[in-house]
């Protein structure tokens, strides 16, 4: 080996080792703080996990209670948001993949969807506050909160549906269309079945994302310390209660905030794992 080749080989080895060390240090740096956060969450949240947390209402200061009304409110608003955003997102994603893919309109819609996908959630909350809350006389409600969360769900489902349908082989479309089957039947009965796992995964990831959103709910659902099942009235939610209780001077409220954060984290983790398991199962079945 010539001296020039040896020099180049040595320099590449040094560069490789330095890059590998930097990558390892960066990964360990991120894992350290992630572990720190999880340890803090567990150490402060586990002591407050008991039956009262899931069976009692949010208490007055310095009294025992739970987060029953907050869990119920979060479930209602997230469920409504998924119910509103999913059909609209699937319909828009289907149009992009099947009808607007080669049109300029499709390019514009994708661009707008990308903007909406990256928009801060507080901006969406202010939009719904202006569009709905102010028009109803400043009346905060769970429905307004669900609308703001639906604007977060919508672009996620649109993107997922668009990408999953475009991944379906074109031969499948051509084979079914050649039999004289209408395009809409091909989409519903063939393409949706092939892309269903990916679309459901997108919906689950959207659910995991909106579960911890606080900012849009502050301007729409506002919050409620009491039990309320009317979606057109203010309703409690776990993120808003956490925001209020975590900054309070009362230890009982702080414990509830940490416990709510732990429950919310576990829920998001389970939803994310379910989405990944669904994708893995679909991949194995296709192979």
State the residue for tokens 């699937």: 90
Let me know whether 11 and 79 are in one domain.
no
In the chain, pLDDT over 70 holds for what percent of residues?
A: 98
Query: Per the structure block, which two tokens stand in for 55?
Result: 């069976």
Task: Give the best-scoring range by mean pLDDT among 3-7, 164-168, 277-281.
Answer: 164-168
Is the per-residue pLDDT at 179 higher than 90? no
End-to-end distance of the chain based on CA atoms, in angstroms? 46
Is the per-residue pLDDT at 287 higher than 70? no
Let me know whether 43 and 66 are in one domain.
no
Let me know whether 199 and 122 are in one domain.
yes
Yes or no: say if 103 and 169 are a contact pair by the CB < 8 Å rule: no
Let me know whether 74 and 9 are in one domain.
no
Interatomic CA distance for residues 52 and 29, integer angstroms: 38
Which stretch of 83-87, 185-189, 232-236 has the lowest confidence by average pLDDT? 185-189
| Mean pLDDT of the 100-121 span | 87
Let me know whether 148 and 33 are in one domain.
no
* 29-62 pLDDT per residue, tens: 989 999 999 999 999 999 889 999 999 999 888 8
Interatomic CA distance for residues 197 and 219, integer angstroms: 34
Interatomic CA distance for residues 191 and 187, integer angstroms: 5
| Mean pLDDT of the 72-96 span | 94
pTM of the entire structure? 0.86
* Residue 4 backbone zone (phi > 0: left; psi -120 to 50: alpha; other: beta): alpha
| Mean pLDDT of the 213-237 span | 91
* 180-213 pLDDT per residue, tens: 888 888 888 888 888 888 899 899 999 999 999 9
CA angle 276, 277, 281 (to 5 degrees): 120
Let me know whether 40 and 57 are in one domain.
no
Which stretch of 31-35, 42-46, 103-107, 121-125 has the lowest confidence by average pLDDT? 103-107
Q: Residue 101: its pLDDT value, please?
A: 77
Is the per-residue pLDDT at 14 higher than 90? no
Let me know whether 83 and 125 are in one domain.
yes
Total domains present in the chain: 2
Let me know whether 143 and 236 are in one domain.
yes
Interatomic CA distance for residues 97 and 115, integer angstroms: 18
> How many residues belong to the chain?
287
Q: What is the CATH number of the domain that holds 55?
A: 1.10.3720.10
Let me know whether 108 and 235 are in one domain.
yes
Task: Give the best-scoring range by mean pLDDT among 15-19, 68-72, 281-285.
Answer: 68-72
Yes or no: say if 258 and 41 are a contact pair by the CB < 8 Å rule: yes
Q: Residue 82: its pLDDT value, please?
A: 96
Which residue range is the domain that position 117 belongs to?
Answer: 51-286
> In whole angstroms, how large is the CA radius of gyration of the chain?
24
Let me know whether 227 and 146 are in one domain.
yes
Let me know whether 36 and 68 are in one domain.
no
Average pLDDT, the chain: 89
Cα dihedral 51/52/58/59 (nearest 10): -170
Q: Please, which residues have CB within 8 angstroms of residue 259's CB and are 6 or more apart in sequence?
A: 45, 46, 47, 48, 49, 53, 67
Let me know whether 39 and 68 are in one domain.
no
């Amino acid at each position: 080996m010539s001296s020039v080749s040896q020099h180049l080989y040595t320099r590449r080895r040094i560069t490789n080792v330095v890059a590998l060390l930097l990558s390892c240090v960066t990964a360990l740096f991120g894992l350290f703080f992630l572990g720190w956060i999880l340890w803090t969450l567990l150490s402060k949240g586990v002591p407050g996990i008991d039956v009262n947390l899931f069976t009692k209402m949010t208490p007055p200061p310095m009294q025992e209670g739970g987060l029953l009304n907050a869990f119920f409110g979060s479930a209602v608003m997230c469920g409504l948001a998924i119910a509103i955003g999913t059909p609209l997102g699937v319909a828009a994603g289907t149009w992009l993949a099947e009808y607007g893919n080669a049109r300029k309109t499709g390019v514009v819609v994708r661009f707008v969807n990308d903007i909406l996908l990256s928009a801060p959630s507080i901006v969406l909350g202010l939009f719904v506050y202006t569009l709905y809350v102010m028009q109803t006389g400043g009346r905060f409600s769970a429905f307004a909160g669900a609308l703001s969360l639906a604007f977060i769900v919508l672009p996620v489902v649109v993107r997922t549906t668009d990408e999953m349908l475009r991944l379906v082989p074109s031969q499948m479309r051509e084979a079914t269309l050649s039999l004289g089957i209408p395009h809409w039947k091909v989409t519903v009965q063939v393409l949706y079945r092939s892309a269903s796992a990916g679309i459901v995964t997108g919906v689950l990831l959207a659910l995991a994302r909106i579960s911890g959103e606080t900012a849009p709910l502050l301007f729409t659902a506002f919050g409620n310390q009491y039990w309320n099942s009317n979606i057109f009235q203010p309703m409690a939610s776990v993120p808003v209660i956490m925001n209020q209780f975590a900054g309070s001077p009362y230890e009982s409220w702080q414990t509830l905030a940490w416990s709510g954060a732990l429950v919310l984290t576990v829920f998001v983790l389970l939803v994310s794992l379910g989405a990944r398991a669904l994708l893995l199962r679909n991949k194995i079945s296709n192979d």
